[in-house]
């Protein structure tokens, strides 16, 4: 069994029960005119995570891992978008309002799509989630249980929001979670660093932190 170089400790990885989970690499977060920019963020800060994620995705596919993609977004009638989420802050355009990539954070709109570089392949589960965590109100638990998955390699955006929430949910459900640091990104670099530090602190209170080079080596 390969041993992954990770912090706070090396982790043996059983490839047969390991999945790659790519969180919310959507146009709405990574491209101008989407949800991320509507909140006042510089979306170009997330671009650095794309090449490592692509390399990770290629390696995971080659190794035969289950690859799961997630997308944050809401039904067109907004019935799954709580007012507390829609009304929050002072965005330039709110969830459900029209933007240059269609309605902001709405399923089926161009902005909701995963960026072309990381497009899911046929057969790879795509989990649509209304919240920040990938387990809340989704079928992710069933997808993972059906494949007897025990270890999650998690990457995507943003580190301290949807990646973190998903890892916290997964950790409580008993999964070993490895966050792939350079394949994650945040609009707020200090939060990216803090988010990673929180995961691996205290002996790995929520999981492990590694990097794409180490993960690809372990998958090889
Ligand atoms: C946010 C996410 N940041 N995917 N969503 O609202 O992290």
Protein residue whose Cα sits closest to atom 2 of ligand 1: 162
Query: What pLDDT shows up at residue 154?
Result: 99
pLDDT digit string (tens) for the chain, length 220 residues:
999 999 999 999 999 999 999 999 999 999 999 999 999 999 999 999 999 999 999 999 999 999 999 999 999 999 999 999 999 999 999 999 999 999 999 999 999 999 999 999 999 999 999 999 999 999 999 999 999 999 999 999 999 999 999 999 999 999 999 999 999 999 999 999 999 999 999 999 999 999 999 999 999 9
Query: What pLDDT shows up at residue 166?
Result: 99
Q: Is 14 a catalytic residue?
A: no
Q: Which atom of ligand 1 is nearest to the CA of 187?
A: 3
Q: Which atom of ligand 1 is nearest to the CA of 26?
A: 4
Q: Is 113 a catalytic residue?
A: no
Q: Is 155 a catalytic residue?
A: no
Q: Which atom of ligand 1 is nearest to the CA of 165?
A: 7
| pTM for the model | 0.98
Query: What pLDDT shows up at residue 55?
Result: 98
Distance 13 CA to ligand 1 centre (A): 28
* Beta carbon of 24 within 6 Å of any ligand 1 atom: yes
Query: What pLDDT shows up at residue 133?
Result: 98
C-beta separation of 104 from 94 below 8 A: yes
The yes/no answer to whether this complex scores an ipTM above 0.90 is: yes
Query: What pLDDT shows up at residue 148?
Result: 98
Distance 162 CA to ligand 1 centre (A): 5
């Amino acid at each position: 069994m390969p041993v992954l170089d990770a912090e706070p400790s090396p982790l043996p990885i059983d490839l047969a029960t390991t999945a790659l989970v790519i969180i919310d690499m959507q146009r709405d977060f990574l491209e101008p005119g989407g949800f991320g920019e509507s909140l006042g963020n510089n979306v170009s800060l997330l671009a650095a995570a794309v090449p490592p994620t692509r390399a990770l995705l290629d390696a995971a596919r080659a190794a035969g891992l289950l690859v799961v993609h997630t997308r944050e977004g809401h039904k067109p009638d907004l019935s799954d978008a709580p007012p507390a989420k829609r009304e929050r802050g002072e965005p330039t355009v709110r969830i459900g309002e029209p933007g240059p990539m269609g309605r902001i954070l709405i399923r089926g709109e161009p902005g909701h799509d995963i960026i072309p570089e990381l497009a899911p392949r046929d057969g790879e589960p795509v989990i649509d989630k209304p919240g920040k965590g990938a387990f809340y109100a989704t079928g992710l638990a069933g997808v993972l249980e059906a494949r007897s998955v025990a270890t999650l390699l998690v990457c995507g955006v943003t580190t301290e929001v949807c990646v973190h929430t998903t890892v916290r949910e997964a950790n409580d459900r008993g999964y070993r979670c490895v966050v792939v640091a350079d394949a994650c990104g945040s609009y707020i670099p200090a939060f990216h660093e803090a988010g990673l530090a929180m995961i691996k602190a205290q002996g790995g209170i929520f999981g492990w932190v590694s990097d794409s080079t180490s993960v690809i080596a372990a998958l090889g």
